[in-house]
Amino acid sequence: MTSDILIIGGGVIGLAIAVELKLRGANVTVLCRDFNAAASHAAAGMLAPDAENILDPAMYDLCWRSRALYSDWTRKLEELTGLSTLYWPCGILAPVYEESGAGIKSTVASARESPAYWLDKTAIGQYQPGLSSEVVGGWWYPEDAQVDNRALARVLWTAAESLGVELKDGVTVEGLLQQQGKVLGVQTSAGVMRASHYVLATGAWANELLPLPVRPVKGQMVRVRVPEYVPELPLKRILFGENTYIVPRRNRTIIIGATSEDVGFTPHNTPAGIQKLLQQATRLYPQLQDYPIEEIWWGFRPATPDELPILGTSPCTNLTLAIGHYRNGILLAPITAALIADLISEQKSDPLLSHFNYSRFLAQTSTSTSMLTHSANFSNGHHAIVALDNSALTNLDSPLTIAGKTFKSRLMTGTGKYRSIEEMQQSIVASECQIVTVAVRRVQTKAPGHEGLAEALDWQKIWMLPNTAGCQTAEEAIRVARLGREMAKLLGQEDNNFIKLEVIPDPKYLLPDPIGTLQAAEQLVKEGFAVLPYINADPMLAKRLEEVGCATVMPLASPIGSGQGLKTTANIQIIIENARIPVVVDAGIGSPSEAAQAMELGADALLINSAIALANNPAAMARAMNLAAVAGRLAYLAGRMPIKDYASASSPLTGTISS
C-alpha cells in the first residue's frame, strides 16, 4: 500500500494533522492501534494556557496561538461533519488556599498577553458559590476554555473519513524500515505499508519505534453526575485548583482529574488514586461528595524530560515528529496540525518549531550519537556508532585558544545555505561546536534564510564570530566589522571583539583579495579586534598577517562552497609549520574524511558550513564532521607511522614454531 503521507497514530493529534493535510490536497492514510485507547479519550479537554501558568515562553506562545485558533477550527469541523465538539469558552477560575499563592501567580499573569483578574475571598465566593471556606481568593482567566475531548476525537475521525482519509484502526506498527536516513516503509500487523512521507504521532508509545525520550505518565480520572434534585448546573466554569481540576460539562456531568503517576504502562484505576482525586476535589468544592460517580478511567500522557512536545523534523529526511504533548495534547491540536502541514506541504518551518525539535535532546554526547545512529534507524544490519570518550583527547591535548579565549571544540560552523532556520539549529547542536560565524550584512538586511537568525541561537552558549561576507574592499570590510562588534554586544557578548575578515572582490571564483585583506587586518587590529582573516593558502601572506597581530589565519582548502576538498595541502602544511597562532582550515572541505585529513596535517581547527548545510541530512553530517575533527586531531597528536617503501609483517618472525 502506498500513499503520499502516512500518519502513525490515530489520536487527536494524528487526526488533526490528517484532516489539515487532506484539505491541502494530500493523499493521507492514518494507522491507529486502538482509537478508543488514545490519550485524547482520557483527557478533560481544558484549553488552559493561562491557568496552567506555563513558564517556558515558547511553550506559552505555542499554547496561546493554539487556543486562539480553537473557535474557528472547531466551527469548521462541525460544519464539515454536522457533529458538535462541545467547545465552550467558559473561562477558568483558579482558587488558592493561601495568600502566597496569589503573589506567585500574579508575577506570571502580569507578563501574559491574555487578561487575568484577581478575585478576593468575597468576590470569588460571589462569582462561584459553593467553594471551600479555605479558599482565600483566586485568579479568573476569561480566555481559557474547554472542549469535550471525546466528542472532538469523534468529530475528527468523522471529518477525516468524510474527506477521504484512509483510516485503518486496529493496525499496530511494529517497526520503521529505514536506510541511509530515510524511512522506506513501516512494518505493521497488516503487512508493510509505504508512503512518500511519514508522520509519527503515537503519543506515549513513540519510544517503541524510535529512541526518543518520551515516556508514559498515567493519569486516573473520575466523572460524577449532578443529581436531578439540583435544578441548575452549579458549576459553569472550570475550577483549576491545587493538584486538581474540576471540569463541568453542559450535559450535567463533572470531570475530576487527574493523577500523575510514573508507573510505565501499568493499567487500571487504583483505590489510592481515586481516593486522592476525590479528597482534593471535595476539599475545593465540597458538595461534590454527594454526587454519584458515573465513570472512572485512566490514560497515558506522553511526557518528555522538559515536558515540552517534540515537533518538526527528525533524523530521517521524510519523517516528521508530532509527539510528547503531555498535558496539552487537546489544546495543541490545531496549531500542531497547522505547523506540521506547513512543514510537509510547503516546506515552511515556523520559527516557533525550532524550540520543540528533537535535537534539543542531543546536547549530551551519548544522546546525540544514539539518536542519529541508533540501530533502530537501520534495516541493513549496521551497528550503532559508539560514542567517543573525549577523555582520551583531553589527556593528550590542550584546549583551542584564540585571542586568549579557550574552546573545547575545534570545529566551527556557519549559518548560511541551510534550507531552514530549524535545520541550521539542529546542525549546530549536533556539531557540538562553540563558535558559529554569522554574516553581519545578511543579518542586518534580513536576507532570505537569515530572518530571525539573531534570535534563533542561544548566544549564552555559542560564541559569535561575525564575518564580513559580501565586502569587496578593505574599507567596506572595516565598516561591517564595526557593525558586527555592535551586533555581538546587542546579543549579550559585551566582550566579543572577534571578526572573521573576508575581502572578496571576485564574484566568480570567490577568492580573497590578499592586499585588501592585509590592509583591513592592520586597521582592525589597531581598533582592538581579534582578526581571523580568510586567505588563500599563501604562506608569505599568512606570516605577514601574523606579524600585524591577527588572532588566527584561515587558509582555504579549495574555493569556497566547492566541496573539492584539500587542494592546497602543501601550502597549508607550510603555513602550519611556521605559524605561532592557530591555523583554521576554511572553505572547500566537502566530506568528513577531508576534515579528518586537514586535522591530521596539524591544523588547529576547521570552519565548515556548505558541506553540512547542503547535505541531505545536515544534522547527521554535522555530527560526522565533529567526529572527524576529533579523530583527525587525535591522529595528529598520536603520530602517524612512517611510510615505507617495502612491506613489513605485522606478526614477528622470531619465536614461531618451526618443523
Grid cell at residue 613:
548545510
**What HEC string does 205-237 produce?**
HHHHCCCCCCEEEEEEEEEEECCCCCCCCCCCC
3-state helix, strand, coil in the chain (%, to 5): 40, 20, 40
**How far apart, in whole angstroms, are the C-alpha atoms of residue 74 and residue 287?**
33
**How far apart, in whole angstroms, are the C-alpha atoms of residue 87 and residue 102?**
29
**How far apart, in whole angstroms, are the C-alpha atoms of residue 5 and residue 198?**
6
CB 167 within 8 A of CB 161: yes
**How far apart, in whole angstroms, are the C-alpha atoms of residue 178 and residue 618?**
17
DSSP state, residue 287:
G
Q: Which residues of 298-321 are buried (b: 16+ CB within 10 A; e: fewer)?
A: bbbbbbbeebbbbbbbbbbbbbbb
Q: How far is CA 643 from CA 27, 70, 587, 596, in A?
A: 60, 70, 29, 19
DSSP string, 42-100: GS--EE-TTTTT---HHHHHHHHHHHHHHHHHHHHHHHHHS-----B---EEEEESSHH
DSSP string, 399-416: -EEETTEEES--EEEE-S
Going by DSSP bridges, is the β-strand pair 238-241/173-179 parallel, antiparallel, or unpaired?
unpaired
Residues in CB range of 379: below 8 A, 6 or more apart: 177, 178, 179, 184
| Backbone torsion region of residue 331, taken as left when φ is above 0, otherwise alpha when ψ lies between -120 and 50, otherwise beta | alpha
Q: Which of 22, 105, 218, 500 is the catalytic position?
A: 500
| Element of type H or E holding 445 | helix 440-445
CB 90 within 8 A of CB 240: no
Strands (E) across 231-315 are located at 238-241, 244-248, 253-257, 293-303, 310-313
DSSP state, residue 382:
P
CB 359 within 8 A of CB 426: yes
Single out the residue of 638, 622, 571, 566 nearest to residue 598, CA to CA.
566
**Radius of gyration over every alpha carbon of the chain, rounded to an integer in angstroms:** 30
Backbone angles phi, psi at 505, to 5 degrees: -85, -15
**How far apart, in whole angstroms, are the C-alpha atoms of residue 574 and residue 571?**
5
Return the amino acid letter for 386.
V
Single out the residue of 40, 235, 243, 291 nearest to residue 147, CA to CA.
40
The dihedral through the CA atoms of 505, 511, 515, 516 has a sign that is positive
Which of helix, strand or coil describes residue 584? Answer: strand
Q: Is 500 a catalytic residue?
A: yes
* Active site residues per annotation: 500
